[in-house]
Structure 1
């Protein structure tokens, strides 16, 4: 069992159960690895493991955004929302974003919280840079990027609560139109 598989297992558990309900023991069991191996790889315990799980999630989303933002901000946002649509609907509304799980449950996990803040910043920065490349002023681009990330994460939470993908689809449609309008206004 590799370190990467343990991190992926932790991210999966966090997106399903939240941070507080994800223990090192349960991650080891979920990943099919001896408990001692988990502590060997993560001497910083749950905080270190959670931080690395958040970084893995950040990396996955960053790669999707990198690829799609080359086609423009609206394409990047469509891909961002499609990714969350697959996570939420594909897991019968039982999974969300591990980055959010850490942000709302971070009580004794400062390294994980820092990783969560960095993930949100990274995604916002990527989107803002794409908007700027397409003529949107820096401040407006930053505001729109923050709106997109916050709205997407909120929509994921609403979808899970309502057992419906509709909030995500509605917000994706509105934000895509908003970004297309912002870019067109500067063309």
Structure 2
């Protein structure tokens, strides 16, 4: 039996995340996801026997973990630094892709749940959004915001950013994200007394 190339599973996940952030989940078949990563279809089913939902869920977790690591690192300097890093990451994603790519977590979250099984990918999106909210809320609380305000502001940050990324793609203009960035920064300063 031939040895599998190291990292092929990870390349499939990375490729799936990239295609989903461009096309969405409904617009991508397992064959498309495999082809985008350069993997044979058989390898894709070997690593993801439950099919598209399993692969999409893992792609969402992969993308979410990348953003989570940025947030964890930048939030050490406070919520304003974390917010800037979060928004800069999405700004760069939209611009680098010439408005063709957004967030794979959002792309999956807005899909209709599958009729033939559990919504693994949507559940993964909910987990990722929850993680980002908890990280932001904890940093806001640690820097002076009260608990309720911190939780609400964290939800607003994630929702406003994700929605604005979609607006930027649709309008092929970064201005909505820049406008939201200015307002979110003002809210974080106000909430933390900074």
Q: TM-score range by the shorter chain?
A: over 0.9
Return the alpha-carbon distance in structure 1 between the equivalents of residues 39 and 161 of structure 2.
34
Tell me the residue number matched to 1:22. 28
TM-score by length of 2: 0.93
Tell me the residue number matched to 2:155. 146
Structure 2, unpaired ranges of 5+: none
Contact 1:88/1:95 (<8 A) preserved: yes
Greater alpha carbon shift after TM alignment, 174-183 vs 7-16: 174-183
Query: Hey, which of these two has a bigger chunk of helix by percent?
Result: 1
TM-score by length of 1: 0.96
Tell me the residue number matched to 1:87. 93
Equivalent in 117, 120, 138 of residue 129 of structure 2: 120
Deviations 1:77-126 (A, max 9, x none): 00000000011111010101111111111421611110000111000000
Return the alpha-carbon distance in structure 1 between the equivalents of residues 46 and 173 of structure 2.
41
User: How many matched pairs?
Assistant: 185
Deviations 1:5-64 (A, max 9, x none): 100000000000001111111111111111100000000100000000000011011001
Q: How does 1:167-186 map to 2 (within 5 A)?
A: 167-184=176-193
- The answer as to 2:48 corresponding to 1:42 is yes
Structure 1, unpaired ranges of 5+: none
Structure 1 stretches of 4+ moved >4 Å: none
